[in-house]
Amino acid sequence: MKTRARNEIQVTVIGAGLMGHGIAQVFAAAGHETTLTDADEAVLRAAPGHVAHNLAQMGIEPGPVLERLRLRATLADAVSDAGIVIEAAPERVELKQRLFADIAAAAPRSAILASNTSVIPITRIGEALDPQARARLVGTHWWNPPHLVPLVEVVRTARTSDEVFEDTFDILLAAGKHPVKVQKDVPGFIGNRLQHALWREAISLVHRGVCDARTIDEVVKQSFGMRLPVLGPMENADLVGLELTREVHRILFPDLDDGDTPSPLLAELLDRGHRGMRTGKGLRDWTPGQADAVRERLARHLIAAQASRRTSTN
């Protein structure tokens, strides 16, 4: 059944913050009537302005997209006619569990129920739902910023119906995203497991005094990071050959960080109030201008990559 991917599907996004308004923007830009709600009225009212800014930055006229974006003050009103509901609330298990209980009670019994969690197993989020609702529950892990990063990980649980899993994939594909299928519900899914495996080793190298944080970033950006847009790790392993890959692993793996708790370095920095760019210090030091420059550089890079992607597929 492919009918859910048509433009007339009603989309509701729960949470209008950083991820939520970007997700809503994608669907509205793809022609879907899209409803956005948030428990914080100020966050909800600010969302159209953020969407307009994003679109202007991308060189897209905001008017037609904003016309398809509806704001609703209550969750029940927002989901009453939804064909798919995407939750983009903070990463707290109990909060997401309560939200999905409320969503399942108020939304049509045919609606797809999707969570944008980045690491929490979808099964845990839906463990209190009735069997019919659990069959409609699926993960849709978008990446920040969601209107610019193509990938969405579609995560099935042992209870997710095949129809819901396939329909969710098709809806995202029709909206211009690059969905991938995650066949097992594991913490962090695929992308964050890979990303944080790299971060664990990077932070460990700094903690062990091998190098400073700036050097980590330089090494990644000036070496294998340059290949990643066109050469994934599986392709790279096959390119150099599996014999060499195995020999490198024999030497390297015994010395890699294999800790199952966060690095002590993070605790030390947090205890000193070094929380990242917003406090001016994290693993690296940041002025407000430097932090803004990183955000601007990232946005322009992703916009250019998205334009290139459109050109290559046309």
**CATH code for the domain in which residue 227 is found:** 1.10.1040.10
pLDDT tens digits, 50-61: 999 999 999 999
42 and 160 part of one domain:
yes
Find, among 151, 102, 154, 90, the residue nearest to 126 by Cα.
102
Alpha carbons 310 and 314: distance in angstroms, whole number: 6
Same domain, 116 and 11: yes
* Domain boundary residue, one of 131, 147, 182: 182
Q: Which two tokens stand for residue 186?
A: 């594991």
List the CATH number of the domain containing 42: 3.40.50.720
Report the pLDDT value the prediction gives residue 176, as an integer from 0 to 100.
96
Residue 2 confidence (pLDDT) above 50: no
Same domain, 116 and 159: yes
Residue 3 has pLDDT above 80, yes or no: no
Looking at residue 7, what is its pLDDT?
53
In this structure, the answer to whether residues 169 and 217 fall within a common structural domain is no
pLDDT surpasses 80 at 312: no
Residue 314 confidence (pLDDT) above 90: no
Residues 198 and 141 grouped into a single domain: no
Boundary residue ending a domain (165, 182, 199): 182
1 pLDDT tier (thresholds 50, 70, 90): very low
Confidence of residue 4 (pLDDT cuts 50, 70, 90): low
Judge if 16 and 162 occupy the same domain: yes
User: Domain count of the chain?
Assistant: 2
**Mind telling me the catalytic residues?**
118, 141, 153, 192
Give the domain range for residue 142. Answer: 3-182
More confident of the two residues 309 and 164: 164
The percentage of residues in the chain with a pLDDT greater than 70, rounded to a whole number, is: 97
Whether residues 42 and 83 share a domain: the answer is: yes
Q: Please state the pTM of the whole predicted model.
A: 0.94
Q: Write the pLDDT tens digit of every residue in 142-201.
A: 999 999 999 999 999 999 999 999 999 999 999 999 999 999 999 999 999 999 999 999
Q: Is the pLDDT of residue 310 over 80?
A: no
Question: Domain check: are 137 and 35 in the same one?
Answer: yes
User: Domain check: are 122 and 61 in the same one?
Assistant: yes
Instruction: Tell me what the pLDDT averaged over the chain comes to.
Output: 96
The per-residue pLDDT for range 7-55, each reduced to its tens digit, is 579 999 999 999 999 999 999 999 999 999 999 999 999 999 999 999 9
DSSP string, the chain: --GGGSTT-EEEEE--SHHHHHHHHHHHHTT-EEEEE-SSHHHHHHHHHHHHHHHHHTT--HHHHHHTEEEESSHHHHHTT-SEEEE---S-HHHHHHHHHHHHHHS-TT-EEEE--SSS-HHHHTTTS-HHHHTTEEEEEE-SSTTT--EEEEE--SS--HHHHHHHHHHHHHTT-EEEEE-S--TTTTHHHHHHHHHHHHHHHHHTTSS-HHHHHHHHHTTHHHHTTT--HHHHHHHH-HHHHHHHHHHHGGGS---SS--HHHHHHHHTT--BGGGTBSSSB--HHHHHHHHHHHHHHHHHHHHHHHHHH-
Q: Are residues 66 and 11 part of one domain?
A: yes
* Dist. CA 82–CA 111, nearest whole Å: 6
The pLDDT of residue 198 is: 98
Flag whether pLDDT at 81 surpasses 80. Answer: yes
The model's pLDDT over 201-238, given as tens digits with 9 standing for 90+, comes to: 999 999 999 999 999 999 999 999 999 999 999 999 99
Q: What are the tokens at 262? A: 């966060």
Identify whether residues 175 and 99 lie together within a single domain. Answer: yes
Same domain, 98 and 152: yes
Structural contact between residues 48 and 35, judged by C-beta atoms closer than 8 angstroms = no
pLDDT in tens, 93-151: 999 999 999 999 999 999 999 999 999 999 999 999 999 999 999 999 999 999 999 99
pLDDT of residue 63: 97
Residues in a beta bridge with 61: none
Residue in the structure block whose two tokens are 């995203």:
177
Last residue of a domain, one of 182, 215, 242: 182
Q: DSSP readout, 195-217?
A: HHHHHHHHHHHHHTTSS-HHHHH
